[in-house]
Amino acid sequence: MADHYYALVDDYLDFDRPVPFTESGYYYESALRKPDGSTNKGAFGRAVRLIPDAEFDRILKAGFAPILGEETPRLQPRQFEISEPSIPFERPIVELTVSRPFREKSFMYNVRAAYENRCAMTGLRLINGGGRPEVQAAHIQPVAEKGPDSIRNGLALSGTVHWMFDRGLISIGDDYKILTAKDHVPEDAMRLLNQSRMINLPNDPAFYPNALFLKFHRDKVFKG
Q: What is the pLDDT of residue 9?
A: 64
Burial 156-192 (b: 16+ CB within 10 A, else e): bbbeebbebbeebbbbbeeebebebeeeebeeebeeb
Rounded-to-integer distance, Cα 105 and Cα 53, Å = 21
Between residues 57 and 182, the one the model is more confident about: 182
Between residues 65 and 224, the one the model is more confident about: 224
What's the mean per-residue pLDDT of the chain?
81
Band of residue 171 on the pLDDT scale cut at 50, 70, 90: very high
Dump pLDDT digits (tens) for 104-159.
Answer: 788 899 999 999 999 999 999 999 888 889 999 999 999 889 898 889 999 999 99
Output the 3-class SS for 12-57: CCCCCCCCCCEECCEECCHHHECCCCCECHHHHCCCCCCCCHHHHH
| Beta partners for residue 178, in sequence order | 172
Q: What is the pLDDT of residue 85?
A: 45
Dump pLDDT digits (tens) for 11-64.
Answer: 666 676 778 888 888 888 888 888 888 888 888 777 778 888 888 878 877 776
Q: What is the pLDDT of residue 13?
A: 64
Q: What is the pLDDT of residue 14?
A: 67
